[in-house]
Structure 1
Amino acid sequence: MVRLGPPAPVIDRSEVLEPEEPASEPVVAEPMEEASAPEEAKAPAPKKPHHPVFRPRKPEPAPPPPAPAPPPPAPAPLITTRLIDRATTRTLLDAEVQKPDGKVVGRAVDMVADANGKPVQIVVNLQGFMGVGDRKASFPWSAIRVNPAAKTAPITLNPSPAQLPVPDRPRPAPTPTAPQGGQLPVTPVQLPMLDATVERPNGAKVGRVVDVLIDGAAQPQAVVLDVSGLIQQRRTIAANWSALRFVTKDKELHPLIDLSEAQINASPPYAADRPIQAVSPAVAAASQAPAAPASAADSDKAAAVARNPK
């Protein structure tokens, strides 16, 4: 059983004194706000500043790399070369010479050319008995035939009786002497090619002819030149026959070729066991200047001639 305490006393609230509030300060009357102006008279509110929107730019593509500079033009060639087939050519020096019946009579030792570069004579060392009685004899170039494919005796000699050397020629019938005041035929200047010195137009030495290459038609195709210097090993090159020029100087025939030292050094060497590369000096093609226009007077004159050809 729960015991309850005595009842709480009843308090009369009226008897309780409430604390007095302190006197408040006098209230100051606020000034009355002026009547607001009509909305139309009000100044417009300042606009908010417009800040531009910066958008990041797309990165520009990298410029293409500069085109590589074109390679410099190749230098002009110093020489031109022509490949000669050994199967269709034959060296002249020491080539065996036979008669039409196949009997070997000697060996070729030289070729004589005229001022036009045309071969006119072949010089043959005729054999004697066991080397006794050997002698050199000249025959017209037209009296020979050449067979480059022959293993022996590539040159066949078939001269007519009038083309034989003087000791072997039958005695001709006496000919009448030239009339008084007339002139006997003059032999053109001729040049033995073997051991001839080939020069430049300025007189400088190019080399010495040590052989001539001829084809099956008995036409010279190239000369073999010894271009060795004083302190160089022996060096030979093949030069095209067409590159030679023949000029008369001091009443003698001289072979010329326009090969400088640089061109000679650029020439492939000649050897019996290598392909034949005959060289010529490279000549730049000269540009042709356009023809000058005809004047009015020339045109009128040409028109007059056309109207009246007489």
Structure 2
Amino acid sequence: MRSRVIISLVAVALVTCASVRAADDSPSPSPTPSPPAAAQAAPKEQAKEPSPPPSVTVIGARDAHGILGRDVRSAANEDMGRIVDVIVDRDGKVRAAVIDFGGFLGVGSRKIVVDWKALRFAGVNNKSDSIVLDLNKQQVSAAPEYKEDTPVIVLGAAGSLQPWDYEH
């Protein structure tokens, strides 16, 4: 029922946007005189067409979840930390996740970067569910620490990493 209400509200918003746009496109009731010759010689500022309404996508509550702050566990149920950031390349493709690993209550922890393909989201149904990492605690503890504005060293599951071109 709730999703039908949301879809109905979205439909009303789109119809309203379309009717406002149609009203803007209708001819004005009185003709506008042409500008004087001096105004025509000035650089033309073209009237911008109104931009089209944004597209709308409805994603079911069970189909997508936020991941920042989510617990990460190994396949053996070892605590691997929490996701604190996501790394994308210049094309906007998600490449890796930054995990705050080790320590206790944030003390003594360090950030490491794991390949996005090494994470498993299949069992994530609500906020209390953990994301599973295809690496064990020993492998992750050997990873170098992530520091912003330096080349990113990404730890991945065996055979899943691809070269990542970057410029200094």
Alignment TM class, shorter chain as reference: 0.5 to 0.7
User: Greater helix percent: which structure?
Assistant: 2
Work out whether 1:267 is the aligned partner of 2:143. yes
**Residues 175-199 of structure 1, C-alpha deviation per residue, up to 9 Å, x if partnerless?**
xxxxxxxxxx955432201111111
Distance 1:275 1:162, change over 3 A: closer
**d(CA) in 2 for partners of 1:160 and 1:198?**
38
Identify, as 1 or 2, the structure richer in strand: 1
Give the structure 2 partner of residue 205 of structure 1: 79
State which of 245, 248, 258 in structure 1 corresponds to 2:123: 248
Q: Which has the larger radius of gyration?
A: 1
Hey, what does 2:95 align to over in structure 1?
221
- Structure 1 distance, partners of 2:111, 2:158, is 19
**Do the aligned partners of residues 274 and 263 (structure 1) sit closer, same or farther apart at CA in structure 2, a change above 3 Å counting?**
same
CA distance 1:164–1:259, change in 2 (3 Å): closer
Alignment TM-score, normalising by the size of structure 1: 0.30
Match of 2:56 in 1: 163
Distance, in Å, in 2 between the alignment partners of 1:159 and 1:230 is 50
**Matched AA of 2:120:** R
Unaligned runs of 5+ in 1: 1-157, 166-184, 284-310
* Total equivalences in the alignment: 106
Give the CA deviation at 1:239: 0.4
Q: Percent identity among equivalent residues? A: 28
| Corresponding residue of 1:195 | 69
Determine if contact 1:247/1:254 at 8 Å carries over to the other structure: no
The aligned amino acid for 1:248 is G
Rate the CA distance shift 1:282–1:265 in 2: closer, same or farther, 3 A: same
The root-mean-square deviation of aligned C-alpha atoms, in Å, is: 3.1
List runs of 5+ in structure 2 lacking aligned partners: 1-50, 160-168
CA positional deviation for 1:224: 0.5
| CA deviation map 1:254-290 (0-9, x unaligned) | 421122221112101100143100001337xxxxxxx
Q: Distance in 2 between matches of 1:196 and 1:205?
A: 12
> Which deviations, in whole Å up to 9, do the C-alpha atoms of 1:220-256 show, x marking residues without a partner?
000000003228523000101111111225x436421
Equivalent residue, structure 1, for 2:156: 280
**For the Cα contact (< 8 Å) 1:206–1:259, is it kept in 2?**
no
TM-score, length of structure 2 as denominator length: 0.53
